[in-house]
Amino acid sequence: MLEAVLLVVAALLIGYAKTAIGGLASISVAIFASVMPARESTAAILLLLLVGDVVAVWHYRREADWSLLRRLIPAVLPGLALGAAFLAVVDDTVLRRSIGALLLLLAALQLALRWHSPDVGRVGRSRTAAIATGIAAGFTTMTANAAGPVTTLYLVAQGVEKLRFLGTSALLFFGVNLCKLPFSFGLGLFGPHTARRTLLLAPFVLLGAWAGLRTVRRLSQRRFDQSVLVASALAALALIVR
């Protein structure tokens, strides 16, 4: 019974993260890993992330910033390939915690900078920063489903307005998660009950997405930026303790 409740909470958080506060989905990753074998949980949650992605893309498709996407996308695929190769040969527990510690440090730095001055920390506009973010997003999403916090830190540093943030993230993660499917199949991560579990939990993803759509309208830009950074810090902690 407790396992079922935890999975429902994780599905709600996935939907909410996709349409409102990105980063919270990594907490769902930690929940899934606590009730399922780690490798199987990676694939199980991938299908639910795609459900949330479809909703987010539909609602925010007109808000996406294609110039930002063109900067990030070319580097994502090499990151995915690196992550898949690493997963094939290495236990990912230490890696996941290391990623979490790094994300927590970066999120704390961004929070400190932004609370000190709203205009401080809006850096990283170079092509090098975009390439590094794309590779990191591909690598972390393949190994720990943690691309959300990585991308959040980059987009907040750009000073991206909340709807443009959500539209850009929606298209980026939808593409990234679709690209992950063949890697996950190739690694044998999909278990026999994955499809059934996805069908049972998908309605809760949709419910969470609906709640997120209602929430984001009420958030000012400042509160939105603060919320996504705090969510990134929580996601980093979830990866560390997972």
Q: CA-to-CA distance for 208 and 205, rounded, in angstroms?
A: 5
**Are the beta carbons of 230 and 34 closer than 8 angstroms?**
no
Cα–Cα nearest to 229, from 117, 129, 144, 114: 114
Q: Percentage of the chain with pLDDT > 70?
A: 81
**pTM for the full predicted model:** 0.82
89 Cβ contact partners less than 8 Å away, ≥ 6 residues apart: none
pLDDT of 168: 93
Tens of pLDDT along 98-140? 666 766 766 666 566 555 545 444 445 577 878 888 888 888 7
pLDDT of 18: 93
Tens of pLDDT along 139-185? 878 877 777 777 887 888 788 899 999 999 999 999 988 988 888 88
Mean pLDDT of the chain: 81
**Are the beta carbons of 159 and 112 closer than 8 angstroms?**
no
